[in-house]
Structure formats: C-alpha cells, structure tokens
Amino acid sequence: MYRSKIAGLGANVPENVMTNFDLEKIMDTSDEWIRERTGIQERRFVTQPCGAAELALPAVLAAIQEAKIDKADIDLIIVATITPEHLFPGTSSFLQALLEIPYAPTLDIRVQCSGFIYGLSIADQFIKTGMYENILLVGVEIQSVGLDLSTAGRDTAVLFGDGAGAVVVSRSDDDSVIASTHLFADGTHAKDLWIDAPVGYESPRITNEMLDQRRQYPSMNGRQVFKHAVTRFPEAVIAALDANGWTREGIKLVVPHQANMRITEAIAKRLDLPLEKVYSNIHRYGNTTAASIPLALYDARREGKFDKGDQLVLAAFGSGFTWSSAAVVW
C-alpha cells in the first residue's frame, strides 16, 4: 500500500479588509461584542463579482508550484465549499476549466467546516490504493455575498469571511505522511446550522415569500454549536493521537478549524495543551468554513510554528454536524 503526504500548500484571500468597525456602520453590533465572543477583529470580503474557483486559483497555482508537479499531473480535483458559484455543476468544474486541464476528474464535497479534512481523507484513500498519484484539494468560500449584513442577521453575519486554501496531496516517498484521518457526523443536528432556501421541497424552489422570511441566509443555534464543538473537537484530536500512538507532548501543533476563539481556548483547556500549541488566525479572517484549515496551515507555517518532520493534528467541527481529524507528519 502507498502512503500520501501534503506536497504543496497555497492560500489566497481577497485584498479588501472588513473590520468589526466597518460592520458597526451597517448593522447594530460592536467591535467589543464580536471580539469578546469570537476573537474576530477583521475578515476579508470580495468587492466585485468573483466565483469560488477564481478566488481559489492563486492558492492552487502556489500549491502546484511547491509540489513541483506540472498541472497536467493532477489526477483528481476535489473542492470543499458551501459557497459554490452555482447549484450545479460544482466549483471543481469551473476550477478545472480555469486550470485548463481537461479530463482531470472533478469532485465537489459538501461537508461544511469539515470539508477540508473529509477531502484530505478521500485524497489519502485514492493515493493509498495506487489509483492516483497527485490530487488537488481546495477549501474555498465566498461567504460575504450570502450573508444577511443587516441587524437581523448579525448573530451569524459577523462570524464569516472569504478565503481559499489549497494543497496537493501526493504519493509519499519520504517521512512526510498523512498518518490517519477520522471522520464523524450526526445528522440529527442538521438544522442547528444551515441555510434553508432555496429548497428542493417547494416549487418553485425560491419565492418572494421565502426571501421576505430571510430563509436564504445562514441560521444557527449558536449555543448548540458551541456546546457540541467543545466536546467533539477534543474527541477528534484524541482519536488522531490514539490511532498513531502520538502524545500531547510530542505533537508540534493542533490546527483546528477556525470557528471561534472561545472554542479554540476550550479545546486547549480540555486537551490540557498550552494555548500556543493550538493555532489561531481567526482574528484576521473570521470563520472561512472549508478554507479555514488550509489558510491556518499556511499562516502557521509562515509564522514558523512548524517545520518538516513535525507532527500536526488537524481537527474540524461544524454544520451537519460533522467533525473530523487528521494526523499529519509535515
């Protein structure tokens, strides 16, 4: 059986910075409320029409360059996003066209905040069996155009931002490896964090009445999300440690999905890890859903938080509910 590794990593965010103070101007909120409850200070919002594939492209090209492969060597494109350009086809089709690599198969996955780790697991399986050698995995979100940026939507609108991260997962011929992945879900909480409309039950799928009811915007039972997140995140991390015989002392960094700084602090506490060992860049980008883990990996590496050979645990929790972890030797 073959082994896989992350061979290249790239990130891209829109240039436009939207601070908490900018949000104060368009809804009844405050920098203090947002920072205290979430740790977010600013996020990036696109300023002109831009599809998820377009935002992802610079991140993808950087990942391909670092992996030292030609784009024609990509055997499969996986895109994790909850904010695709269209209901169908998926963002991976648009990305494949932009990359100009006809025939590479394309696969969109919809697992919300867990999308990147679920994608990593899928890529790992394809590499392990020998079917593919190089897989492009992208996490990308353009949340800003789908948020209710009025006071009515403030409980969710202040949390999310735009961004993209990409990795090339390749067959490993050295010590770098995706050592394990663990995937979990509990669909009984599907409506605790969701977008209701446009829906498949009604005809037509979207009506003026639905728009008036604001059913096209995200809605969240924040307390439920928080309560489950602080339990499920640590469980997923422990699953990764146990599967590999790794210890809390031995790992260099936990890179969690950037949901909320208070959740990150709770993860550190419950795992008895110093906060410096649980990476956070949520103050810069907010919650970028499927993009947050590759964006966090990118920033953490740039800040010198880990290096080749280090043990990392990636972990996610979010809508679905879905949660997951990956043990990675960089």
Q: Site residues (CB under 6 A) for ligand UT7?
A: 29-30, 33, 37-38, 113, 154-155, 158-159, 220, 222-223, 225-226, 259-260, 263, 287, 318
User: Looking at the annotation, which residues are catalytic?
Assistant: 113, 257, 287
Is the separation of the CB atoms in 73 and 7 below 8 Å?
Answer: no
Instruction: Kindly tell me which of 83 and 176 has the beta carbon lying closer to ligand UT7.
Output: 83
Instruction: Kindly tell me which of 259 and 295 has the beta carbon lying closer to ligand UT7.
Output: 259
Is the separation of the CB atoms in 163 and 13 below 8 Å?
Answer: yes
Q: Is the peptide bond before 198 cis (omega within 30 degrees of 0)?
A: yes
Question: At closest approach, how far in Å is the CB of 40 from ligand UT7?
Answer: 9
Question: At closest approach, how far in Å is the CB of 80 from ligand UT7?
Answer: 13
Listed residue (207, 61, 193, 67) closest to 138, CA to CA: 61
Instruction: Kindly tell me which of 106 and 319 has the beta carbon lying closer to ligand UT7.
Output: 319
Whole-number Å distance between alpha carbons of 119 and 330: 17
Instruction: Kindly tell me which of 58 and 222 has the beta carbon lying closer to ligand UT7.
Output: 222
Burial (0-12, 13-18, 19+ Cβ within 10 Å), 1 = exposed
Question: At closest approach, how far in Å is the CB of 308 from ligand UT7?
Answer: 30
Whole-number Å distance between alpha carbons of 170 and 70: 12
Question: At closest approach, how far in Å is the CB of 25 from ligand UT7?
Answer: 13
Question: SS3 of 204, please?
Answer: coil
Q: Which residue is nearest to ligand UT7 (CB)?
A: 222
Instruction: Kindly tell me which of 37 and 248 has the beta carbon lying closer to ligand UT7.
Output: 37
| DSSP, residue by residue, 96-146 | HHHHT-TT--EEEE--GGGHHHHHHHHHHHHHHTTS-SEEEEEEEE--GGG
Going by the DSSP 8-state scheme, the letter that residue 290 receives in this structure is G
Question: At closest approach, how far in Å is the CB of 327 from ligand UT7?
Answer: 21
Burial (0-12, 13-18, 19+ Cβ within 10 Å), 238 = middle
